[in-house]
Structure 1
């Protein structure tokens, strides 16, 4: 079987000269367009400090909310209790494909939390982990209807998360190294 990674970003990811900052904007767009989603964002986090931000968000059009954040923020202590998807990500479980937030198992999806925080109807909660730690969540979603995620969709997400997890680690590590140096 061929590598199902997105052809639009394959060369960039494979290149030793490309930075996460160059690849991530291309990635969220390519995932959104290839999966025919309404929005895709990348939440990056530092597992030790439990801080994160969403510097990359692609939207099909301005009708969909932009969740971009530029500052690192402490994750709420209650987040894993309120959001079973995030709790699963923290346990470094496989990515979760939610076809309909409205009818999903409440042990997997807190539909009230999802409606309040994100407003989407179907989503992929793709976990970017390394050494058992969560470094990022890639989240493609659809707003106005349920969505059946196909085998091809699942293979694509598996390939993308495997390829970009090291880039997420590099991005976060570099950001926190720079923060440490500026505070010294």
Structure 2
């Protein structure tokens, strides 16, 4: 499975990923063991770790795309900062294009509105059958092109740092208990990386 990353990353990312993906723990579903070398690698920056985590996520879950929608809670700016995809033709986001965040009080996108206030993860098996009021179906169809998705808000010490999302383009997907366990484990890890990334890369 070939994965497209944000360009310009140093070779240490590739070497760490090769190590993480090669071991039997990855092949046999030991997801946390696959991510651990990346999260603990002292040679990788927070930027590189976020890229590597997304690459591992799409490979391990066999999803079509994963991305970080990051929020700077101090300046109230947001951007799509990191992306990995196994579908290069699937529309790319404008990475690193920071803009003022939407007003959470007037948002009409239910999952994003919820993310400002809660770290509840939304597991959407099929946008076409999701309960009314849970998602903005038109937005998921026309802008994101999703069919199934995981929407995981990133909170640390009562601060909202963005959203980790992974998705399927064309097919519904029932998200397994193992997948849910992995996402809940990754949430605080990725939130911490976002905080470190913002410290090193001010908006």
TM-score by length of 2: 0.78
**Mapped pair 1:5 → 2:38:** no
Tell me if structure 2 keeps the 8 A contact 1:123–1:140. yes
Change (3 A) 1:6 1:57: farther
**Mapped pair 1:130 → 2:130:** no
2-side partners of 1:59 and 1:100: how far apart? Answer: 19
1:82 aligned counterpart, secondary structure? coil
Change (3 A) 1:4 1:110: same
Aligned positions, number = 175
1-side partners of 2:37 and 2:106: how far apart? Answer: 36
Q: Which runs of 5+ in 1 are unaligned?
A: 180-184
Change (3 A) 1:14 1:78: closer
Correspondent of 1:89 among 104, 109, 115 = 115
RMSD (Å), alpha carbons: 2.1
**Deviation of the 1:19 alpha carbon:** 1.5
- How do 1:47-126 and structure 2 match up within 5 A? 47-77=73-103, 81-126=107-152
Q: Which runs of 5+ in 2 are unaligned?
A: 1-29
**Deviation of the 1:4 alpha carbon:** 4.4
**Deviation of the 1:80 alpha carbon:** 5.7
2-side partners of 1:61 and 1:113: how far apart? Answer: 20
In structure 2, the partner of 1:45 is 71
In structure 2, the partner of 1:150 is 176
2:123 aligned counterpart, secondary structure? strand
Tell me if structure 2 keeps the 8 A contact 1:92–1:133. no
- How do 1:160-179 and structure 2 match up within 5 A? 160-176=186-202
**Deviation of the 1:39 alpha carbon:** 0.7
Change (3 A) 1:51 1:165: same
**Deviation of the 1:68 alpha carbon:** 4.0
TM-score by length of 1: 0.86
**Deviation of the 1:109 alpha carbon:** 0.7
